[in-house]
A and B are shown apart, each in its own frame.
Chain A
Amino acid sequence: MPTYPPRSVGHLTDILRAGSYLADRGLATALYVGITLGRPVLLEGEVGVGKPEVAKALAAVFGRRLIRLQCYEGIDTSQALYEWDYARQMLAIRAMSERALAADEAVDALFGPKFLVERPLLEAVRAGGDAVLLIDEIDRADDEFEAFLLEVLSDFQITIPEIGTIRAAEPPLVILTSNRTRELHDALKRRCLYHWIGYPSADREVEIVLLRAPGVAQALARKVVGAVNRLRELDLAKPPGVAETIDWARTVDLLGATGLDPQMALDTLGAVVKERDDLELVIANVEEITSGA
């Protein structure tokens, strides 16, 4: 297991590379500063550039538990922080005598740790330094939920009225991702470090494909990446992300091809282009896209 915290940006990059994740200088610096200062890192970027992968890679290389909170509209404290186990509470109340129930201790016991169901955020605060917390697609949650997050992200503590405040001994590593479907509140952003993940350069993308799809030959990876880059220049409604590049390389490899001719590209287009309008545009330009490949 590599030493934690990492000694330098370069050290962190090497550790992540050993865990099959290629971080560029900017991302590695943001993560290193986040780890050193105990600050959450907010990642925004094009769709399909592997934002959640960052958290998975960090958890894997440092041997920590990955706790994931997928955000959605209407998510609230009972789904993100904690919930009481009502069925067990009911049973416990039934089992108590009338007199026992009147005592204050009865209520304390009912709303005590025994009946508390942990949800991801509470779990992460309890686990503290043993966890990587991934708050995925925070922009899908509503404004009210962002307000819940503020206390957790600034002090790594959670207040449960019936029990008290639970504090993390050592802050967990927190990664937030957003697809920018709405503007996040400045208060939330102020608590986070920010990094924009763009498309990688062609050489780096080839490296990523080789790392993620080990069976694929380098020549094929290069051709697929070349074609994907031409697709991105094509002004598509949904340009392909890195995940699509990997899928496409795998698909072509699976079919036993070593190159990417127009016919092979047309047959496997479903791996990269996932919009009807785009499909028409790509089919019309397929010669050009696969040229030089």
Chain B
Amino acid sequence: MPEQPGLAGVLVGFARALRAEGLAVGSAEAQTYCQAMAALDPADLLDVYWAGRAVLVSRREQIAPYNEVFKRYFLGGTSARTLPPAPRAMAGSVTEAALAVPLTDPTGDGRPEQAQLGMLASDAEVLRHKSFAASTEEERAALRRIMARLTLTPPKRRSRRTHSARAGRAPDLRATVRASLRTGGEPTQLRWRRRKVVLRPIVLILDISGSMADYSRHLLQFAHTTAHAAARVEVFCFGTRLTRVTRALRHRSPDQALADATTMVCDWEGGTKIGACLDEFVRQWARPGRARGAVVVVCSDGFDRGDPETLACAMERLSRLCHRVVWVTPHKSDSHYRPSSVGMMAAWPHIDEIVSGRDLAGLEELAALLPRLA
């Protein structure tokens, strides 16, 4: 069927409406959609729907917004509500406010490098043992800058992928044959293949309930730098429910990323249901494979309003699915720490390492610990 310009216009308009809703629909996809519809029956709304879903949707999460836009665009659905821009704008202004705090900016006005470093180092010394909860807004900003330099290095493991090497376990026949050409077909020197070393994935699960919000904001910053430094990092936030913020944290600018992540999470400083949230994490993400071979870092004080049995069960499953579980708690300040909250007691048997997330020194301890968990 030859496509009428009218039809193409309608389809491209639909693609544009999807883009406005945040789906990654480029002009290439729109073109494919038009080609697909040329082969189908444009008068059949089911064809229009399913062809669009095959071409313009590329992950499961996009199906719901797709349906919404489809209803609105083709059926003139009553749900033609304009997007509420309020939360996004609000989150933006919060970070801007935080940014506007007058502080000694180490990258500012051409001071000598030496002074900058000195400033930063002494900052770090003073702030190292200051509890996050007790620090002032200015100190927190300074901490943020220091933490931007502190990155989490995941432990390594040997991959099944191999590369050519001088010594190794398996002979590299390809390279050996190549080399033997030079010596008249005599393989005088065997070449080898050796297994590559790759970084393990890290999964950060941050408690953002009322009792933990201050710590977790810092860890979110930490998560952002880590997500940009290491290969595979997944970040989740939870209070009463679990939210995945990995995609939001991909933004290069930390402030924008944090603002986006904050907008996605709707239960900042609410209650806690650790058990239910970890259980959801295990079912939704860990079981399908996101936590396999990974180091899972849970940051929480363990104050749980739910059933401790749920938490114990989720933690047991999690510890079986992943490589190591590290628990970061603000209450641990020395090596004689024993769990005090019911939640911590339930989780305790399934934790491999426990570190303090109380202050910068604790985070440094975490950063030093991770590479050793191989």
Q: Do A and B bind each other?
A: yes
In the complex, A32 has a CB within 8 A of chain B: yes
Q: Which residues of A contact B58 (CB under 8 A)?
A: 186, 189-190, 194
Contact A194 B46 (CB under 8 A): no
A89 CB within 8 Å of chain B: yes
- B55 CB–A CB distance under 8 Å: yes
Nearest CB in chain A to that of B24: its residue = A186
Minimum CB–CB distance for B272 against chain A, Å:
21
CB pair A39 B32 closer than 8 Å: yes
A17 to B319 CA separation, bound complex (whole angstroms)? 44
In the complex, what's the smallest C-beta–C-beta distance from A43 to chain B, in angstroms? 11
A144 to B196 alpha-carbon distance, docked (Å): 12
A110 to B178 CA separation, bound complex (whole angstroms): 10
Question: Complex Cα distance A96/B53, Å?
Answer: 59
Q: Are A96 and B185 in contact (CB under 8 A)?
A: yes
CB atoms of B59 and A36 under 8 A apart: no
Assign chain B's interface to a size class: 35 or more
What is the bound-complex CA distance between A29 and B181, given in angstroms? Answer: 54
Inter-chain CA distance A29–B44, complex, in Å, is: 12
Tell me the complex Cα distance, A54–B57, Å: 20
Q: Who on chain B is nearest to A47 by CB?
A: B288
Q: Are B287 and A29 in contact (CB under 8 A)?
A: no
Q: Please report which residues of chain B, range 51-73, place their CB below 8 angstroms from some CB of chain A when the two chains form the complex.
A: 51, 53-55, 57-60, 63
Q: How far in angstroms is the closest Cβ of chain A from B159?
A: 6
Q: How far is the CA of A207 from the CA of B371 in the complex (A)?
A: 53
Inter-subunit contact B174/A144 (CB<8 Å)? no
Q: B46 is contacted by which of A25, A89, A238 (Cβ under 8 Å)?
A: A25
Q: Are A36 and B50 in contact (CB under 8 A)?
A: no
Cβ contact of A72, chosen from B53, B160, B198, cutoff 8 A: B160
**A74-B160, A186-B58, A193-B54 known; A86 vs B184 contact (CB < 8 Å):** no
Once the chains bind, are B50 and A29 in contact (CB under 8 Å)?
Answer: yes
- When C-beta atoms are compared, the residue in chain B nearest to A102 turns out to be B184
Tell me whether A74 and B55 are in contact (CB under 8 A). no
Asked if A261 is an interface residue, CB under 8 A from chain B, the answer is: no
Q: Which residue of the partner chain B has the closest CB to A183?
A: B59
Interface-lining segment among A123-131, A174-182, A248-256: A174-182
Cβ–Cβ contact B162 & A89, under 8 A = no
Alpha-carbon distance between A78 and B51 when the two chains are bound, in angstroms: 36
Chain A CB within 8 A of B187 CB = yes
Q: Are A73 and B160 in contact (CB under 8 A)?
A: yes
Q: Could you tell me the distance in whole angstroms from the C-beta of B144 to the nearest C-beta in chain A? A: 28
Name B161's contact: one of A29, A96, A142, A194 (CB within 8 Å). Answer: A142
Secondary structure at the B interface, as helix, strand, loop or mixed, is helix
Residue in B39, B185, B283, B288 whose CB lies within 8 Å of A179: B288
Q: Does B309 contact A (CB under 8 A)?
A: no
Q: Are B283 and A9 in contact (CB under 8 A)?
A: no
The verdict on A86 contacting B36 (CB below 8 Å), with A74-B161, A196-B60 known, is no
Q: How far is the CA of A194 from the CA of B56 in the complex (A)?
A: 8
What does the 1/0 interface line of B122-160 toward A look like (CB < 8 Å)?
Answer: 000000000000000000000000000000000000011
Q: Give chain B nearest CB distance to A151 CB in angstroms.
A: 17
The CA of A190 and the CA of B46, in the complex, are separated in Å by: 23
Partner of A37, one of B36, B63, B288: B36
**What CA separation (Å) do A181 and B160 show in the bound complex?**
17
Contact B28 A86 (CB under 8 A): no
Q: Which residues of A contact B54 (CB under 8 A)?
A: 26, 29-30, 33-34, 41, 193-195
Given A93-B181, A101-B181, A190-B58, residue A9 in contact with residue B288 (CB < 8 A): no
Instruction: Indicate if the CB atoms of A237 and B317 lie closer than 8 Å.
Output: yes
Which residues from B are CB-within-8-Å of A196? Answer: 60, 63
Chain B residues closer than 8 Å to A199, beta-carbon distance: none
Contacts of A186 in B (CB 8 A): 24, 58
CB-CB under 8 A for A32 and B159, given A193-B55, A237-B283:
no
Whether A73 lies near B159 (C-beta < 8 A) is yes
Give which listed residue, B53, B162, B282, B283, contacts A74 with CB less than 8 A: B162
The residues in B between 264 and 285 inclusive whose CB is less than 8 angstroms from any CB of A are: 282-283
List B residues 165-218 near A (Cβ within 8 Å): 173-174, 176-177, 180-181, 184-185, 187, 198
Q: Please, could you name 17 A-B residue pairs with CB atoms under 8 Å apart, sorted by A?
A: A25-B46, A29-B54, A39-B32, A44-B59, A74-B160, A74-B161, A84-B177, A86-B176, A98-B184, A101-B181, A179-B289, A181-B289, A182-B289, A189-B58, A190-B28, A193-B55, A194-B54
Spell out A's residues near B (CB within 8 Å).
Answer: 8-9, 25-26, 29-30, 32-34, 36-37, 39, 41, 44, 72-74, 76, 78, 84, 86, 89-90, 93-94, 96, 98, 101, 107, 110, 139, 142, 144, 179-183, 186, 189-190, 193-196, 237-238, 277
Q: What is the interface of chain B, defined by CB distance below 8 A to chain A?
A: 24, 26, 28-29, 32, 35-36, 39-41, 46-47, 50-51, 53-55, 57-60, 63, 159-162, 173-174, 176-177, 180-181, 184-185, 187, 198, 232, 282-283, 287-290, 292, 313, 317
